[in-house]
Chains A and B, each alone.
Chain A
Amino acid sequence: MAAVDGVGARALPYLREAELIKQGAEARVYRIRFLGKSAIVKERFPKRYRHHVLDEKLTRRRTTQEVRSILRCRKAGIAAPVVYFVDLSTNCIFLEEISDSVTVREHIAAAHAVESLRDLAEKIGKVLARMHDEDVIHGDLTTSNMLLKTERSGELTLLLIDFGLSFVSALPEDKGVDLYVLEKAFLSTHPNTETLFQKVLQSYTAASKRAPAVIKKLEEVRLRGRKRTMVG
C-alpha cells in the first residue's frame, strides 16, 4: 500500500530529472549532481493514508533524527555519509555518495568461505559497540545498511547508513533490541552464518565496557521478541 502512495508525481523540480535508485515505503532515494559533486537525495514523501498532521510530524522527526544521528556518529569517529544540505520544507536530505562501495550484504553473498569474513565480523562488532557507547540506537540494522568502502590505501572502511529510525538512548534494552534486529536480519539474509554472527557479538563484547548488560538483554529479547509489552 505504501508503495502505491509513494508513486505520486515528483513534486520537486530538481528531482524530476534525477535518477531514482531506490523506492522504499518510507522514502525515495535519488542520485544527482549537487554543487559539482555526486550526491544522494533521500526524499521522504507524504503518505496520504496517514492523517496529514501526524504524517508531517513523523516525517519531520525522522528527517531531523537521521541528520542528528549521522552527526553524532561522525563526531565519535564512526563513518557515515557527509550531510551536504537538509531541506526541511520538503524533507529531503542531501548526502555524500559513497563511491567504490558495496553493501555488507553483497560482500557476504559474494564471499566463497565464511572464514574469510572473520575480519568483517570483527569490524562490525567494533563499530556497533562504539555507536552504542555514544547511545545512538540505529533502529534498522541490516547488512544492507552497512557499506564497505575500499579506501585508496586498500583498506576497507565500514560505513553505517540509513539512520531514519534511529534515536538516542542509554538503555541496555534498546541496544539489545538493536542487536536482535540485526541478528534476525543477518541470519535470515545469510543462511548458515551463526558462527559469523557469534563473532560479531564477541567483538562487540570485547570493544565495549557496557556490553555485558546489553548481551544479557539480547538474551532476554530472543526469548520474548523485540516488543517489550504484550499489549495489543
Chain B
Amino acid sequence: MGLVESGKLPKPLTKLLNISRKYSMWVYQWGLACCAIEMGAAFGSPRYDVMRLGVIPFPASPRQADLVVVSGTVTDKMAPVIRRLYEQMPEPKYVISMGSCANCGGPYWDSYSVTKGVDQIIPVDVYVPGCPPRPEALLEGIVLLQEMVANEDMAAKWKGDPLVVD
C-alpha cells in the first residue's frame, strides 16, 4: 500500500481497490439493546440475508473487522469499553450507529446514566434512525456505507496529519 500512502494511486486502481473493499466488509456486531435483535434478524435470519450484499457478520474480534454496527443504548459505564474496542480495529474502519439511542440518546435523552449518542466517543459514518430500525433500514444503511466506500479516495485519507504512536 505504499502507493496509497504516497497519494499517487492511479484512479482505476483506486476504483478496483474500493470495489473489493466494498464487497468484503467484515462487520463486528456490537449488539447492546433492543436493536441488537433487529440486527440479529438482519444478519442472522434467512429472510434478510446480509451476505448477499457482501457483508460478512462473523469476525471473532474487532481486530479482524472493517465495520462495526453499534446497535442500542450506550451507557456511561459502557462508553469506555466501546472506545477501547474501536481503537483495536485496524484502519480503514467504519461505524454504523443503529437506532435512536446510539444516534442521540433516543427515549433516554434525559437519563442520568445514558451517553447521548455514540458519536460523542467514536466517529460515526452512517446513522440509521428508528426505535428500533427495521432490518431493511439497517441494510439500507449498509448500502449507503458501501456507496461511500466506493467513492472514497484512500490516498486522501492518508494526506492528513501523520500518525503519531504514543
A and B found bound together: no
Interface residues of B (CB under 8 A from A): none
